[in-house]
Amino acid sequence: MQNYKSLIKLYSSRETDDSFRIRYQRSMHVTDDLIDRMELDAELQGHQGCVNCLDWNNAGNLLASGSDDLHVIVWDPFRKKIIQNIKSGHTGNIFSVKFAMNDANILSGSAGFEIRMHDIETKDISFLCACHEGRVKRLAVTPNEPFMFWSCAEDGFIMEYDLRDQHRCQAHVCNNALIHLNHPLGRRVEAKCIAINASKPELLAVGANDPYVRLYDRRMIKPPIPRYTSRGRIVFPPNEIFINQSLEPGDDKILPDAVSYFVAAHIPHYQDGDYMHRRTLNVTYLAFSPDGNELLANLGGEHIYLFNIKNKRRQMVLNLMDLCKPICMSSTEDGVVSQNGPYFEKGNQNDLIMSLYEHDCSPYTWSSPSEKTKYERLKLKADELMDQEYFCEAIDAYTTAIYHFPKIASLYANRASALIKREWDGDLYAAVRDCYTALNLIPNYVNAHYRLCFAFIRLHWHRESLHCLTVMKEKYPNEITKAKFKDLKEYFNLKFPTSEHSDSNGHTSSSGDRTYYVDAGDIQEQEQIWRALAYDYETRYIGHCNTTTDIKEANFFGSNGQYIVAGSDDSSFYIWDKCSTKILKVVRGDGSIVNCVQPHPITCLLATSGIDPVIRLWLPIAEKCKMEETDVRCIEDAALANQKRMRTDPLEVMLLNIMHLSRN
């Protein structure tokens, strides 16, 4: 009933308040109800190969697509008609298309190392650049600077172009180079994706064939002067990138604020079993939120991560010393939540963490009886799922409870237990973050500290595990004699035997040092510093799979960016609620892989494409219409299957896709 009252209020305010009308339109652009009713509306047929890229114009009345068939097609999506079919002239697969120059032109970048601009009406080529020496993977434009665009390619270059200037590709010379990733990273680096912040166009985000997201301020970058060798390959002298323009000539200090790095903090380090070392991680897509304060990154080989670029989050492992300072306790009863419970069962690590699970809540002052009732209802549901060992559902339930009651420590601590038990990729570090939050709310929360130690041990982070145990001895002297503390210490000794030492690959040693995901010997010292100071993620979105292609997208959906959409290797696309991270809908969108998911700028409409040579449009249908077979009914099973898929040899998946194409 409350929702209907709010809706009536929205409607009435819309009629009387002009400024509110805009806010109303934005809030009602995409809603949970519309997403629930979203089904296949049409299939646009015209390409003869995989459709690798899509782009809406700002007005939303045109859709552009690029394909392996080397054609660029401009569509009228509402009439399901081809406006123009352009034979691009590219010699390699088209990976990116963008509307340019007030929608009169189309930019396209390809595996043939070229960028072309086509006049939509005449099909003529009005711009050609062959400066890149690798496959052009992404192009970027912004409405605030209609005459400019940017490109990135697998040669490690990020180029900046101004269409008002005459461009001429001369032999072995390029004057458009803005960033050269090869200098700090080595010759093996490949730029995979870029994005321009529409609200703050000075900010340029770059993704490469590593797990880091780089955010540059173009105002602080002095474009390097190109040099060339006898082979014609562009190179740069040392320290010629990110030079402070205010410094005197010859001063080669790097401007510290020119770039910020972002990464999920667990990723740069080897994890238990070294599985991350065997998996290729690269950023396949970047997107800024409508307000420009958040950055979304689709990480190939892992999950989707949301970074807050306005209020940057420091890695929690860097704050371990501050958080775990010994606290003088007046008594073990004052402020300590649920210290009692079953002891650990020796030798059983599952019972080890389950013994720390608890049902009681931390001290909290309720504003009203109804608030307490709502909390008890939400927590009871989560507790029941946890008791039944439905860990995926329990995590979602605790997340919902946390969304409504973010100041209750036991919700975070119990979600940490569920994360440790589920142990999908990144779950252990997510449990660490939850334990930190619980300890910030209640500094002497014993069980949260136990779980923090256990998660560190499972992560195989020796230094943090040892420090955590040491601090526990100082903070909780009464715990030392208990069986559960002794069992935790035994588990630590099992994971970190005294004979352990650093091997030739630089893996975890008894000294507690952890190594970077990319061999530090291949990168410059300044790059290592940037990586060490990388900011952590704000939220992550789990369920899809991104291992087979390096062009898979993830985008904000809705005028306020209140939803997240992304394609997946399991032939589906996923829709998450941005705040709660809950999967709202999974839809079959391709016969093999969905790579592109592009939201319409104004209407609740999605355009998707992938391995199939068609573009699919998705719209909300009437409530009484029959549900299509494209809906995936069991979301939890789909997410679990994708976790297994991510740990499967990508070659096997690729062979399956080839078989699919041959059948079609």
- Distance, CA of 243 to CA of 250 (rounded, Å): 10
> Given this model, what pLDDT does residue 74 score?
98
pLDDT reported for residue 227: 42
pLDDT tens column, 367-395:
888 999 999 999 999 999 999 999 999 99
* Bridge partner residues of 324 (DSSP): none
Quick one: what percent of the chain has pLDDT higher than 70?
A: 73
pLDDT at residue 268, rounded to an integer = 82
pLDDT at position 180 over 60 = yes
Q: Which of 18-27, 332-341, 603-612 has the lowest mean pLDDT?
A: 332-341
Q: What is the pLDDT of residue 312?
A: 94
Pairing of strands 115-119, 125-129: antiparallel
Q: How confident is the model at residue 501 (pLDDT cuts 50, 70, 90)?
A: very low
Q: What is the pLDDT of residue 9?
A: 59
Amino acid 328: pLDDT: 34
Q: Give the distance from CA 398 to its chain's centroid.
A: 22
Query: What confidence tens digit (pLDDT) does each residue in 343-368 have?
Result: 233 334 445 444 455 544 456 678 88
Of the segments 321-330, 608-617, 635-644, which one has the largest average pLDDT value?
A: 608-617
Q: With a cut of 50, say whether residue 327 has pLDDT above it.
A: no
pLDDT at 13 (0 to 100): 57
pLDDT tens sequence across 444-472: 899 999 999 999 999 988 888 998 998 88
Cα atoms in the 13 Å half-sphere on the side-chain side of 70: 9
Least confident of 121-125, 265-269, 506-510: 506-510
Q: Which residues pair with 555 in a beta bridge?
A: 565
Q: What is the mean pLDDT of residues 411-435?
A: 94
3-state SS, 114-131, equals: CEEEEECCCCCEEEEECC
Burial of 525: CB neighbours in 10 Å, binned 0-12, 13-18, 19+: exposed
Diameter of the chain measured on Cα atoms = 83
**Percent with pLDDT over 90 in the chain:** 56
Question: What pTM was computed for the model?
Answer: 0.84
In this prediction, residue 645 carries a pLDDT of 75
CB 465 within 8 A of CB 324: no
Tell me if 39 sits within 8 A of 606, measured CB to CB. Answer: no
pLDDT at 631: 67
Nearest-CA neighbor of 564 among 310, 295, 300?
Answer: 295
Residues 6+ apart with CB under 8 A from 428: 266, 271, 419, 420, 455, 458, 459
| Strand pairing category for 563-567 and 554-557 | antiparallel
Length of the chain: 664
How many Å apart are CA 371 and CA 161, to the nearest integer?
Answer: 56
d(CA 139, CA 285): 11
Structural contact between residues 10 and 27, judged by C-beta atoms closer than 8 angstroms: yes
Rounded CA-CA distance 242/216 in Å is 10
Q: Is 240 helix (H, G, I), strand (E, B) or coil?
A: coil
Please determine, for residue 623, whether its predicted confidence score (pLDDT) is greater than 70: no
Q: What is the pLDDT of residue 508?
A: 38
Can you tell me the distance from the alpha carbon of 614 to that of 45, in angstroms, rounded to the nearest whole number?
Answer: 5
Arithmetic mean of pLDDT, 104-118: 96
Rounded CA gap, 254 and 248, in Å?
13
Specify the residue for token string 């041959």.
662
Mean pLDDT of the chain: 80
Q: pLDDT tens-digit profile of 191-207?
A: 999 999 999 999 999 99
Amino acid at 195: A
235: number of Cβ within 10 Å: 13
Residue that wins the pLDDT comparison between 342 and 312? 312
Rounded to 5°, angle at Cα 581 from 530 and 364: 95
Q: Output phi, psi for 525, to 5 deg.
A: -60, -40
For 473-498, what is the mean pLDDT?
89
| Interatomic CA distance for residues 445 and 99, integer angstroms | 55
3-class SS at 429? helix
